[in-house]
Structure 1
C-alpha cells in the first residue's frame, strides 16, 4: 500500500480497502496514514470518518479544518456555503492524501471527492468500505484491496501471540487453542476479542474448553454473530469496568479517545473507580479498546454499536447526533443525554426549555453537549438533579454561567467561558469535585472567593488561573475558614514574577 501511495501515476488515484467488519480495514489505513514515509511524501494529509453521516457539507468542513490546520471546533450553523470551493482552493497545487473511512454509499463518495482537484502531483485517496460496489465506483487506476479472512495457521498464530506474547503455548493447551482459533472463522476482531477473554483466565484446559463451547454455535458471517462475541468479552470484564466501557459510546465514532482524559470523562459520568489506569489496561487487554499509540485509543465500530445498545437497555444515556432525531419522546427516562449535533433539532428542544413539560428531564443526572450544540434561548437551571455537566466547546453567556450555580448536586463540571472569574452563584456548588475550565482566547481566570468556598473540590484544570488579577496586581482577601483540604490537582496556576 505504501508503495502504491508513493509511486504510480501522477494523476489522482483512489486506493480502496474492502471487507466485512472486523477484518482490520481502518487499522490498516491508520497504520499507513501515520507511516513516516507517507507523512514525509505528502504536503497535506486529512482523515475523515464517514460512517452513515448524511451531511456532506459537515464532512467537507471536517476535511477542510484538517487541511488548513484549524484546531478550533466549528459551529454547524457557521458552515460556509462554499466549503467545497474553499477546500478545492486549499488543495490546489498540493500533493494531498485524504482518507475516507467507512464509506457507505456512492452518492456521498461523489459529493466528498468532487472538490478534490485533478493536478498531476501524485495525490491519493484511501477509501475503506464494507461494500464492493462503493470501492469499484471510486476506482481510478488501482484495483481495490480485498482483505481476506485469516487461514487456520494464521489464526492460531494471532491467538497465541495475543494470549502468550513472545512465549509459546504449553503443549497441553495447543489442541484446544487451535480449535478455538478455527472457530473464530479467520476474523481478526473475533480472534483478538477471544484472545482477550482467555488471556485473563487460568491456563487450564477445562477453562479453555468452556470458551470453545461458547463459540461452537457461532458462524461469523454477519455482524450479529460478532456482537455475541463482544457480549462474551463484556461478560468477562470486572463489574466496575463494564459501565466504563458502555459510556465510551457517548464519544463520536470518528473521535480519537485521549487516554489521559478518560479518568475525568468517567468521573464526569458519575462513575467511581480506584484507578482509571487499571480500567484502561483491562479494556485494552480484553481488546474492547484498541491503543493506537501511548496517548490515543479507539473502539471498533461494532463495539461502539454494542455499547450504545447496552446504554439504551440500561437507560444510562440517550444519544443525539448527526441527523438523528431526539428519542426523548419515547419516554425512555434516560439518566443522561449526549448531544453531538443539533442538526434537525428545534431550538426549543425540551431539554433546554423549562416551559415544555417532559418528566424525563427531571431525572437527568448527566448532560454532555459537544461543539456549539446549545440552542439559543437555552436554560439549564431546571436540570436540578444534574451531577455531571460537560459543555465541551460551548461558549457560555453570563446568564447561563449564573444558572449553573443553581445546580447544587453537580460533582463534575466542564465549561468554556470568556469570564475572568467564576460568578458568585458558584458558591452554591457544595458537591463539586472536578472543575475543568477552557478559558477562551488565552484569558486568565482569577480564583475569586467563591472558588475557595468549594470545599469538596479535588481536581481543577484550567488553561490559566491566578489567585489575583495579574493586570491589577491586587491580592484577594479570603476568609481564613476557606480551605480546600481535598484539593489534589490545580492546573495551571499562573504565578507572575515580582
Structure 2
C-alpha cells in the first residue's frame, strides 16, 4: 500500500553510512507505471558515473551500463516496479551479482517481488500497531517533548484512526501543525496508477467492493457470489467462472489493493484500506457505476439513479415524503432501469413497509433487503416473485415456506434468507430453480414438520448447478440420501442433525 513505508525503508538502507561505504557504485531509480526504459537506463548510468550525459537513439545505453558495472560492487534501488517485464528489461544490463553487489526492489505486486527475488524472500511490511502509530504521531508533532496530558486521549484516538499507515500519521501531524502537505494527493495518484493498470473487467470487480461500507470485512465467498450474479465475471473457453474469480481476487490481493485475512477456523475475508476505499468511491460515482442514497439526505432525490444502488435507511431523519422509492403512486426516483438494489440501515416500521412495492423494478437482477431494514411479508414476497430477471436475492422473512410463485425465478442463482426462529420449507418450488448455485437459509428443510402426509417428488427432479447448500435441518434416512443424489455437483453443505423421530412425514419417489 502507499504509505506503508516501502520507499522510506529502502531510502534509509540506501543512505546508511555503512551501506554507502561498502559499495563502489550506487544508483536509485523510481520506475512508476509509465516509464521509458532508455531514459531510466540513462538515469542509472549517470548516477553510477556521476555524469549528466545525453545519448542519441543509436547508442546502446544498456551495454554501456553493463560495462560500467562489470567488476564493481554496485548497489541499485529500483523503486516502484509494476510488472515482471519491467523488472526483466531494467535488470538486463546488470552483470551477474558477484562481489557482494545488491539490488533492492520495491513493488505493490507480489508476483514481481517473487519473480525478482535473489537469495532472500520478499519482505512484507506490516501495518503499525496503534501504539506505534501514536509514537510516530507524537514525535512528528512534539519532537522530543511529550504530548500534553489534556491532548493525550484525543491524540491516541487519532492514532487509532491512522489504520497503521505511517504516511497517514505523518499527514495528520502536518495538518495539526498547520503545515502544508501534498502527500495525500500523491497517495491518491499512486492508487490511481495501480487502478489504471488493471484490465477493464477487473476494474469493475474492484469498484464493486466499495459497495460495502468502510472498514467492513467481507467474506470472500460472498464477494465472489456478488461478482457472479452482477455479471461482472463471465465464463470463457479457457476457464470457468469460479477459476476467473479466483484469478481476479488473487490479482487484487497481490497488487496490495485488497487486504486478505485468513484466520484459522474462520471463512477467508478481505477488506479495503480506508484510502483505497475513498478513492474507489470517488471513481465509482464519477463513472456512475453505482450510487449510495440516504433517506436523510435531500440530495437523494436525484433525477436518475445509477444502475447499481445502495440505500441506507435512516429512521431518525425519516419523513413521509422523503423515502418513497417503492411507492407506486409517487415515483421520486426513476427506478425502472435499476438492475441491482441493496437496502440496509435502521428497521422500517411495519405500517410503513406495508406500502412498499417492487413490481415496477422489472429488470432487477440483484436484490438485497437486509433484515435490519425489513422483514419481508407475503405480499411483498409475491411481488418479488414477479421479478423474473433476478439472479441474486437476499431477504429476511418470517413466512413459513417457499411460495409456489418462486417457480417464476428461473434465472435465480443465489438465494440467501434470514429466517430466525423458524424452519423454511423448501419444497416443492425449489426444484424449479434450475440455475440455483448458492442456497443459504438460517434454517431450512425439505420436510414440513406440521404435515403428516408424504411429499411427492418427480423422479427426474435435480438441481445440478447447486454448489452451496445450508443450513439444512435433517436426519439420516433413505429419503434424505435420495435427495442428496439430486445435487450431483454440491461442493459445500452445512446442516443441523436432528433425531429421526422429529421428521414425521416421509418422501416418496414415484416409479
Whether the TM-score (by the shorter chain) exceeds 0.5 is: yes
Question: What is the distance in 2 between the residues matched to 1:421 and 1:358?
Answer: 34
Of the three residues 180, 183, 194, the one matched with 1:233 is 194
Question: What is the distance in 2 between the residues matched to 1:426 and 1:334?
Answer: 28
User: For residue 132 of structure 1, what is the aligned residue in structure 2?
Assistant: none
Question: What is the distance in 2 between the residues matched to 1:475 and 1:272?
Answer: 42
User: For residue 36 of structure 2, what is the aligned residue in structure 1?
Assistant: none
Inter-CA distance 333–202: structure 2 relative to 1 (3 Å threshold): same
Alpha-carbon shift at residue 230 of structure 1 (Å): 1.2
1:161-210 deviations in Å (ceiling 9; x for gaps)? xxxxxxxxxx9xx94556769xxxxxxxxxxxx85x625554234599xx
User: For residue 257 of structure 2, what is the aligned residue in structure 1?
Assistant: 288
Inter-CA distance 326–423: structure 2 relative to 1 (3 Å threshold): farther
Matched residue SS, 2:208: helix
Question: What is the distance in 1 between the residues matched to 2:412 and 2:31?
Answer: 53
Alpha-carbon shift at residue 372 of structure 1 (Å): 4.4
1:339 touches 1:373 (CA, 8 Å); kept in 2?
no
Matched residue SS, 1:379: coil
Matched residue SS, 1:339: strand
Corresponding position: 1:204 with 2:173: no
Of the three residues 371, 378, 386, the one matched with 2:356 is 378
TM-score by length of 1: 0.56
Question: What is the distance in 1 between the residues matched to 2:85 and 2:330?
Answer: 52
Alpha-carbon shift at residue 328 of structure 1 (Å): 4.2
Mark the structure with the bigger radius of gyration: 2
Of the three residues 325, 329, 343, the one matched with 1:355 is 329
**Which shows bigger deviation, 475-484 or 359-368?**
475-484
Alpha-carbon shift at residue 277 of structure 1 (Å): 2.5
Counterparts of residues 73-472 of structure 1 (less than 5 Å): 152-154=8-10, 175-177=27-29, 195=80, 198-199=82-83, 201-206=85-90, 221-273=182-234, 274=241, 275=243, 276-294=245-263, 295-321=268-294, 324-329=297-302, 331-342=303-314, 344-347=317-320, 349-358=323-332, 360-372=334-346, 374=348, 376=353, 377-393=355-371, 394-441=374-421, 443-472=422-451
Matched residue SS, 1:198: coil
Counterparts of residues 463-482 of structure 1 (less than 5 Å): 463-472=442-451, 474-480=453-459, 482=461
Matched residue SS, 1:307: helix
For structure 2, the 5+ residue unaligned runs are 15-22, 34-78, 93-104, 107-179, 235-240, 477-499, 501-511
Alpha-carbon shift at residue 421 of structure 1 (Å): 0.9
Matched residue SS, 1:338: strand
User: For residue 140 of structure 1, what is the aligned residue in structure 2?
Assistant: none
Inter-CA distance 473–229: structure 2 relative to 1 (3 Å threshold): farther
Question: What is the distance in 2 between the residues matched to 1:258 and 1:334?
Answer: 25
Alpha-carbon shift at residue 350 of structure 1 (Å): 3.8
RMSD over equivalenced CA pairs, Å: 3.6
Question: What is the distance in 2 between the residues matched to 1:231 and 1:457?
Answer: 37
Question: What is the distance in 1 between the residues matched to 2:276 and 2:187?
Answer: 9
Matched residue SS, 1:363: coil
Matched residue SS, 1:440: coil
Alpha-carbon shift at residue 448 of structure 1 (Å): 2.0
Alignment length, in residue pairs?
A: 318
Matched residue SS, 2:87: coil
Inter-CA distance 422–233: structure 2 relative to 1 (3 Å threshold): same
Matched residue SS, 1:461: strand
Alpha-carbon shift at residue 340 of structure 1 (Å): 2.6
Question: What is the distance in 1 between the residues matched to 2:331 and 2:296?
Answer: 24
Question: What is the distance in 1 between the residues matched to 2:306 and 2:91?
Answer: 38
2:260 touches 2:270 (CA, 8 Å); kept in 1?
yes
2:295 touches 2:311 (CA, 8 Å); kept in 1?
no
1:438 touches 1:462 (CA, 8 Å); kept in 2?
yes
User: For residue 137 of structure 1, what is the aligned residue in structure 2?
Assistant: none
Counterparts of residues 29-44 of structure 1 (less than 5 Å): none
2:294 touches 2:300 (CA, 8 Å); kept in 1?
no
1:291 touches 1:297 (CA, 8 Å); kept in 2?
yes
Question: What is the distance in 1 between the residues matched to 2:232 and 2:2?
Answer: 30
User: For residue 136 of structure 1, what is the aligned residue in structure 2?
Assistant: none
Question: What is the distance in 1 between the residues matched to 2:259 and 2:293?
Answer: 25
Matched residue SS, 2:336: helix
Alpha-carbon shift at residue 313 of structure 1 (Å): 2.3
Question: What is the distance in 2 between the residues matched to 1:432 and 1:462?
Answer: 15
Which fold has the larger relative contact order, with Cα–Cα distance below 8 Å and residues 6 or more apart in sequence? 1
For structure 1, the 5+ residue unaligned runs are 1-20, 25-148, 159-170, 182-193, 213-218
Question: What is the distance in 2 between the residues matched to 1:493 and 1:150?
Answer: 48
